[in-house]
Chain A
Amino acid sequence: MGPFLETLFGGLMTGMLYSLVALGFVLIYKASGVFNFAQGAMVLSAALAMARFSEWIPQWLGFDNKLLANVLAFAVAMMMMVAAAWLIERLVLSKLVNQEGITLLMATLGIAYFMDGSGQTLFGSDIYKIDVGLPKDPMFLLENIFEGGLLINKEDLYAAVIAAALVVMLTLFFQYTATGRALRAVADDHQAAQSIGIPLNRIWVIVWSVAGFVALVAGVIWGSKLGVQFSLSLVALKALPVVILGGLTSVPGAIIGGLIIGVGEKLSEVFIGPYLGGGIEIWFGYVLVLFVLLVRPQGLFGEKIIDRV
């Protein structure tokens, strides 16, 4: 029971991190119908900016306070993501209005290449550290029930809490602010939203900025866990099955999908993996999604797809 629960918890926390990345996909898809393959590149660029600026800013300004440096670096990185969102809207999306889904998908892949390249050109391509003071030491839970207790990584726990807080924040933002309402209106129907005076261009900039913010948080958490390097942009590929499993249009779906994939991956790796030669984490999520889609083609929580002739 002990090892099982341990794996379960580990899976839940990884899953929370997956859903953090998946959230970025869902936000953009909901508001603009673009499947944003650049989310991974956004995570990488944001994390790179955060890592480098937290190093540079104290040097430039000549102080030695880690908290202040991190806060400033976060702010600068966020400004960068907003600028990127504005540029993407201006230079790419506004020119591709009314194109087919696959064209937009390819355009975001182009953006992804561009961001991977420019991020590494600007900030270098070594492995960098992000240190925002997440505790690294493991802790033990429920020692009175199980012998030796459950080993849980504190860093993962904090990350999961941050992710959950972010989700609550986003939900509140979407439900209770005027901008949030506008975003939901655009998500429902572009034309109707435009006809009641919601400026689509500004909404898209906002959505991409919010997605950039989510990418930044995800980048900071993943970066402090794994180090900031190119492989960070591949995290997006782990988040893809999460998005699809939950449904492309559902924010709660991204969270629940993340948890399911996280848990499924870890459990399968520990309990089935050894029979198949290990490393099945890589494809487990995708194959799971394949079977779920056979039953529910729109994912678990996605809007039902209705075909009309």
Chain B
Amino acid sequence: MLYRENGQFKTDYRADQQVFPIKQDRIAIGLLMAFAVIGVPLLADEYLFRAILIPFLILSLAALGLNILVGYCGQISLGTGAFMAVGAYAAYNFFVRVEGMPVIVAILLGGVCATAVGILFGIPSLRIKGLYLAVATLAAQFFWDWAFLRVKWFSNNSTSGTVSVADLSLFGVRIDSPVGKYFFCLAFLVIFAVLAKNLVRSHIGREWMAIRDMDVAAAVIGIRPVYAKLTAFAVSSFIVGVAGGLWGFVHLGSWEPAAFSIDRSFQLLFMIIIGGLGSIMGSFFGAAFIVILPVVLNQALPAFGELFGVTIGTALIAHTELMIFGGLIVFFLIVEPHGLARLWSTAKEKLRLWPFPH
């Protein structure tokens, strides 16, 4: 009743092609943004910022980047952690080695370096497909894990690749409070989400999707596979690299290569699959799910144990967490293989007809 587009006439192309063609959607997204900017800083405490909100924002950004590659262009990548690491370490090097380098520029330059690496490791995708490609991208993961650990130059001669950044400031304003960090990440996420949304709606996004659906057919109708695949790798690894920079600079502050291990790659892949492949919205859902689930399990399990009068040790909690996490992932894949984004759009379809079934 409330959510329908009756009476919203579009009189020009601009109105017809906007990102949110339905008025209620525009209002909802406006309210959501207002809540994110005004409501959240008022309501959330420091723990919530550190443990959930900031990781959620940064990992959504990374998932968004990965979704462009996997969800829109159909090239499976298990090297996301490596691209994040390249972004983080490159940003670190720019930040430390160049006098007076602003944080934003350093992070963006980190993204540029990740782009270069992404294109380099994307070249095999021109020949290799599917699972073979997935394993081939693992080469990037293991190579960069090793490089940041062993090649001292990357980590400014620190032992075991550990680096740290302090004194983040933006136009002279320090951003070390949780709220400041939150806004910093939120700004990045919103800007990149808008850019990505518009990119996948444009001709290049359609080329990616054509390649994903059937690359031979796409080549036949005149889409250049080389160009389409490598741009997908470039855009994706740029966003992922920026997310890596944020993860290192803003969330961790000091990090070692293990922060971007293969587990991170799997985690991001889980996000986009649970969230929904080929959906910008899905990246957010997936990131929220994967970030919040361990926190909830961590809190709930000991309480659950007390209910039955058993104390659950930390090792057991860790293992049970693994079990539940794995089980839930399988469960989700079985129940909704197209991810939470599909549930969301089904819900919207239903809502349009509500309360009348026809």
Contacts and interface: CB of A to CB of B under 8 A. Distances in A.
Contacts of A35: 131, 134
B132 A293 contact: yes
A290 B78 CA distance: 14
A133 interface: no
B329 A106 contact: yes
A309 B214 CA distance: 7
Interface string A218-256: 000000000000000000010011011000100000000
Interface string B83-127: 000000000000000000000000000000000000000001001
A281 to B, nearest CB: 9
B337 interface: yes
A285 to B, nearest CB: 8
Question: Which range holds the interface residue count of chain A?
Answer: 35 or more
B266 interface: yes
Contacts of B214: 309
B323 A114 contact: yes
A237 B265 CA distance: 14
A259 B33 CA distance: 57
Given A103-B337, A279-B149, A282-B145, A244 B132 contact: yes
A296 B18 CA distance: 45
A102 interface: yes
Interface string B312-354: 0001100111111111111001100100000000000000000
B232 to A, nearest CB: 16
B217 interface: yes
A297 B132 contact: yes
A286 interface: yes
A117 interface: yes
Contacts of A113: 322-323, 325-326, 329
B215 A307 contact: yes
B323 A118 contact: yes
B142 A309 contact: no
A297 B128 contact: yes
B20 to A, nearest CB: 29
A187 to B, nearest CB: 16
Contacts of A308: 216
A110 B132 contact: no
A33 to B, nearest CB: 10
A262 to B, nearest CB: 16
A96 B337 contact: yes
Contact of A106 (B129, B150, B270): B270
A118 B273 CA distance: 24
B127 A294 contact: yes
B139 A286 contact: yes
B330 A117 contact: no
Interface string A121-139: 1000100000000000000
Contacts of B273: 102-103, 106
A102 B143 CA distance: 23
Contacts of B136: 244, 286, 289-290, 293
Given A106-B273, A297-B129, A114 B319 contact: no
Given A91-B330, A110-B327, A110-B333, 4 more contacts: A92-B334, A106-B329, A110-B330, A113-B323
Interface of B: 70, 76, 124, 127-132, 134-136, 138-139, 142-143, 145-146, 149-151, 214-217, 220, 262, 266, 269-270, 273, 277, 315-316, 319-330, 333-334, 337
Query: What 5 A-B pairs have minimum CB-CB distances, sorted nearest first?
Result: A113-B326, A117-B322, A114-B326, A117-B323, A110-B329
